[in-house]
């Protein structure tokens, strides 16, 4: 019984951190889009980074399902299918998408539960490189990407951090589906690696994160551990990129919450800016009580949505969902969707509810929720 209770507590702690990461990136995206001043009442609207991150999370789950049942899976291809479902819902080359994924018209498509969420079919900002690349879907994965260095290559990939070191090695390939610039792909990989360390630090050997509430120092320890581990977990990171990341972290310790430094680190809407600005803001406000202030500060960057998105993901991953401002989470239009995806991510990685090729699953509806293709 004590062992079972420990397992339940650790599972709850892990779920809380993954929920915190998903909800944190969404709140950051929303607050950044309003420059840190959301409306006083009414629903808070999701940004396009949040929409795409939802489909990344769903794609990761469906890739896991496919791997369990088929024995082999190229996860970036399954995630690409997820982005095409988003595009079809948005009315972006919908017929072209149907020809690619449902050429015979023999199945309901887009499929899966996420495609039935109304807010995901509404336009919530611009993602030009992603849209342009998806519009070229018939040219194939090798030729459809644009040369863009834009931030969506990074922000939409953050949920992949939940899959661990193995999944992080595929972040660059997922970013490269639409963004051909190597710096964008590298920044996305670095960000996912940092989020992964925030999700898992501190953790007992071989086990999930400990359920105790982390301190401000623990947050900086997690970020420092992620930066230190980058040469091993993200081998394509250049020495210049690695040096900039370390410098941004040191600057947050020496001169935190300086708007001039933030603007210098994150001057535009590129993936490297989102990474450096998000790291600086998170390390400037590492305490649990400072999470709202961190998001508001990050929202003041030249492209506040992408920087605050990364900030929220990092801090939410360390502190957990309960640390997020309740008044904001409670008003966010996709809060339930994000929460459900986070829980299902953990559940699929831990327990495969649909079973596998040789083992019968315990949830007969799981395949309908997350078809493995």
| Domain CATH for 154 | 1.10.4080.10
Task: Calculate mean pLDDT across residues 116-128.
Answer: 95
Average pLDDT over residues 359-367: 95
pLDDT band per the 50, 70, 90 thresholds, residue 211: low
66 falls within a domain: yes
State residue 218's pLDDT score: 83
Q: Is residue 191 part of a domain?
A: yes
* CA 257 to the chain's CA centroid: 24
Q: How is residue 221 written in tokens?
A: 């320890």
* Residue 146 near residue 266, CB atoms below 8 Å: no
Average pLDDT, the chain: 93
Coil vs helix vs strand at 22 = helix
Q: What is the mean pLDDT of residues 304-310?
A: 98
Q: Which of 123, 1, 149, 110 is nearest to 52 (CA)?
A: 123
Please report which confidence band the pLDDT of residue 204 belongs to, taking 50, 70 and 90 as the band edges.
Answer: very low
Q: Which pTM does this prediction carry?
A: 0.94
How many domains does the chain fold into?
Answer: 1
246-303 tens-digit pLDDT: 999 999 999 999 999 999 999 999 999 999 999 999 999 999 999 999 999 999 999 9
- Whether residue 162 lies inside any domain: the answer is yes
Inside any domain, residue 373: no
pLDDT for residue 327 is more than 80:
yes
User: Within a domain: residue 269?
Assistant: yes
pLDDT at 44: 97
Task: Note whether residue 370 is domain-resident.
Answer: no
Residue 296 belongs to domain spanning: 12-365
pLDDT at residue 224 above 60? yes
pLDDT in the model for residue 2? 59
Contact present, 308 and 32 (Cβ < 8 Å):
yes
- In-domain check, residue 282: yes
Give residue 207's pLDDT: 47
- The stretch 98-108 carries a mean pLDDT of 90
Lowest mean pLDDT among 33-37, 134-138, 232-236, 261-265: 232-236
What is the pLDDT, as a whole number, of residue 142? Answer: 85
Mean pLDDT of 180-191: 97
Asked if residue 337 belongs to a domain, the reply is: yes
């Amino acid at each position: 019984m004590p062992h079972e209770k420990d397992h339940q507590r650790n599972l709850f702690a892990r779920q809380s951190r993954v929920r915190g990461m998903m909800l944190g990136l969404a709140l950051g995206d929303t607050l950044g889009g309003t420059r840190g001043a959301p409306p006083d009442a009414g629903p808070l609207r999701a940004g396009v980074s949040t929409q795409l991150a939802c489909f990344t999370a769903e794609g990761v789950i469906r890739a896991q399902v496919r791997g369990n049942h088929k024995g082999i899976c190229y996860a970036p291809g399954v995630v690409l299918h997820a982005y095409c479902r988003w595009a079809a819902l948005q009315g972006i080359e919908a017929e072209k998408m149907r020809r690619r994924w449902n050429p015979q018209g023999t199945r309901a498509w887009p499929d899966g539960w996420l495609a039935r969420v109304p807010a995901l079919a509404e336009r919530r900002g611009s993602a030009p490189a992603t849209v342009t690349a998806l519009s070229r879907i018939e040219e194939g994965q090798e030729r459809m990407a644009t040369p863009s260095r834009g931030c969506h290559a990074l922000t939409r990939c953050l949920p992949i951090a939940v899959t661990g070191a193995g999944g992080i090695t595929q972040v660059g390939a997922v970013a490269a589906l639409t963004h051909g610039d190597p710096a964008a792909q590298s920044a996305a990989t670095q960000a996912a690696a940092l989020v992964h360390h925030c999700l898992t630090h501190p953790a007992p050997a071989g086990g999930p994160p400990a359920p105790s509430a982390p301190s401000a120092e623990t947050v900086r320890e997690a970020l420092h551990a992620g930066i230190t581990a980058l040469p091993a977990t993200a081998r394509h990171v250049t020495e210049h990129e690695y040096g900039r990341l370390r410098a941004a972290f040191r600057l947050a310790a020496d001169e935190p919450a300086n708007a001039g430094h933030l603007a210098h680190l994150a001057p535009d809407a590129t993936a490297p800016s989102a990474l450096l600005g998000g790291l600086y803001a998170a390390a400037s406000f590492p305490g649990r009580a400072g999470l709202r202030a961190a998001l508001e500060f990050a929202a003041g960057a030249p492209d506040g949505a992408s920087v605050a998105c990364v900030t929220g993901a990092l801090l939410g991953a360390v502190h957990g969902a309960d640390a997020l401002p309740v008044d904001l989470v409670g008003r966010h239009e996709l809060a339930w969707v994000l929460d459900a995806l986070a829980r299902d991510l953990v559940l699929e990685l831990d327990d495969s509810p649909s079973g596998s090729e040789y083992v019968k699953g315990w949830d007969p509806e799981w395949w309908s929720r997350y078809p493995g293709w």
